[in-house]
Amino acid sequence: MNLKEVTKELDLKIDETERQLMSEQVKDFLDKVNSVLKKKKIKADVFVGGSFAKDTMVKSSNYDIDFFVRFDKEEDISDILEKVIKEIKVKYLRVHGSRDYFQVPADEKVTFEVIPVLKIKNPKDAKNVTDLSYFHVNYVKKRITQQIANEIRIAKQFLKAQGIYGAESYIGGISGYGVEGLIIHYKSFEKMIKSIIKSTKKIIIDPEDKYKGKNALIELNESKIESPIVLVDPTFKERNVLAALRSEAFDKLKKSSEELLNKPNEKYFEIKDIKCEIEAMIKDANKVGGNFVKIDLKTDRQEGDIAGTKMKKFSDFLVEEIKRYFDVCNNTYSYLQSKEAQLFVVVKPKKEIVKMGPPLDLVEHAKAFRKEHKDTFIKEGRLYARLEAYKDFKDFFNDWKSKNKGRIKEMGLTAMGLG
């Protein structure tokens, strides 16, 4: 099978019955919000955004539908919106962020994300990236066709299956709007991944020629061009849509895209259960003669991007610490969508651990280093020490945890333990 045949077999579009039910839920909630706004004489209007509004939503076991409430003034808009939601008398969760928003469950499968934004006429007046959502929806809807929408769904499913869909800090991948922008530019999923595979340097995309042939890398703020792909926002040229994309996620995208093109298979579009990943890692551990380790993490930070990012940063740090004493053959991080996460690692004990010491000409430091370490040697004018390797990961973990209580707390962790 070639790639076109594989993607043709994918069942990604929401069936009409399910979409109709969601449309009814959306209309009902929209009417309720508008009714309260009118009753309270609040100057604001509501629009539905996200993939539901653009018809790029991928079939799933659960859905988020975005409602944007646009206020004329920025003053306390999250607090005002909370009063509106309370008046509707529905269950909700306030999610803290650069601007607080609200999650309202519609049923077991559908959650409304109700987001306060500023009503602006020009994108340059945005105070928050969500203020641009109105422009994003209109841009995509004007340029989308049924074929493009289908290609977008294919791309989204592929990124989800690779674990790199989403601009949240703990994912460092590509957002829904980012996928839509890429496919609108490349016209198809296949052309997009072929372009990514061929790239040997940073990819620069300016779909609406906002810089009129100028180099966007020179024109954009330096902090916005660190990502491997720079996608100039078609609605606001000073923004890179893919600024959150990390090199780690890009490399994974490039590798999996190449594998897919070399051997097209539906498995690249299958969202793997964490249990499947664990089974694969255990097999890897057995192959290399290593050990599979599960580490449970907890934080007291706001669930969502904040909690997920805190624990991801800690996991990255911990993996680097583990590498000092073990060969890390594989590792993966799983955020559990609450205040908990898990880190899975495949490790092999190192035969020898070498610690770098001071140069010999720093006599006092060299003397202290020799006093601290029994087995030292000299290489290119510098002292080194051979340390005893850990044979059991549990011993290392308990020692490290005991010595780093302050660092663990400082990095936002309330608990960690071997699973």
- How does residue 382 score in pLDDT terms, banded at 50, 70 and 90? very high
Residue 2 lies in a domain: no
CA distances from 70 to 45, 166, 313 (A): 5, 24, 34
Give the pLDDT confidence score for residue 284 in this predicted structure: 87
- The arithmetic mean of pLDDT across residues 374-390, rounded, is 89
Name the domain boundary from 242, 271, 300. Answer: 271
Give the pLDDT confidence score for residue 97 in this predicted structure: 79
Residue 9 lies in a domain: no
Q: What letter represents residue 188's amino acid?
A: S
193 with 264, same domain? yes
Name the domain boundary from 254, 271, 288. Answer: 271
Residue 89 lies in a domain: yes
237 with 327, same domain? no
322 with 206, same domain? no
328 with 375, same domain? no
343 with 358, same domain? no
Residue 321 lies in a domain: yes
CB 367 within 8 A of CB 349: no
329 with 400, same domain? yes
Give the pLDDT confidence score for residue 249 in this predicted structure: 94
Cross-strand partners of 297: 341, 416
Tell me the CB-side half-sphere exposure of residue 161, using CA atoms within 13 A: 19
Average pLDDT, the chain: 92
79 with 182, same domain? no
153 with 37, same domain? no
pLDDT digits (tens, 9 = 90+) for 209-265: 888 877 777 778 777 889 999 999 999 999 999 999 999 999 999 999 999 999 999
Residue 10 lies in a domain: no
Give the pLDDT confidence score for residue 149 in this predicted structure: 97
Name the domain boundary from 132, 162, 197. Answer: 132
pLDDT digits (tens, 9 = 90+) for 297-323: 999 988 888 888 899 999 999 999 999
Give the pLDDT confidence score for residue 302 in this predicted structure: 82
Q: Where would I find the H helices in 295-356?
A: 305-323
CATH number for the domain harbouring residue 242: 1.10.1410.30
Considering Cα of 326, then 327, then 329, then 332, what sign does the dihedral take? Answer: positive
Residue 6 lies in a domain: no
CB 103 within 8 A of CB 92: yes
Residue 3 lies in a domain: no
171 with 123, same domain? no
326 with 413, same domain? yes
Single pTM value for the model: 0.82
pLDDT digits (tens, 9 = 90+) for 116-161: 999 999 999 999 999 999 999 999 999 999 999 999 999 999 999 9
CB 148 within 8 A of CB 184: yes
Number of domains in the chain: 4
Q: What letter represents residue 213's amino acid?
A: G
CATH number for the domain harbouring residue 332: 3.30.70
Q: Where would I find the H helices in 40-98?
A: 50-54, 77-88
| Tokens linked to 246 | 């990390």
Give CA–CA dist 186/408, Å, rounded: 44
pLDDT digits (tens, 9 = 90+) for 37-52: 999 999 999 999 999 9
Q: In terms of residue numbers, what domain contains 22?
A: 15-132
- The arithmetic mean of pLDDT across residues 278-290, rounded, is 88
387 CB burial (10 A radius; 0-12, 13-18, 19+) = middle
pLDDT digits (tens, 9 = 90+) for 309-363: 899 999 999 999 999 889 999 898 989 878 999 999 999 988 888 889 999 999 8
283 with 405, same domain? yes
Residue 4 lies in a domain: no
267 with 278, same domain? no
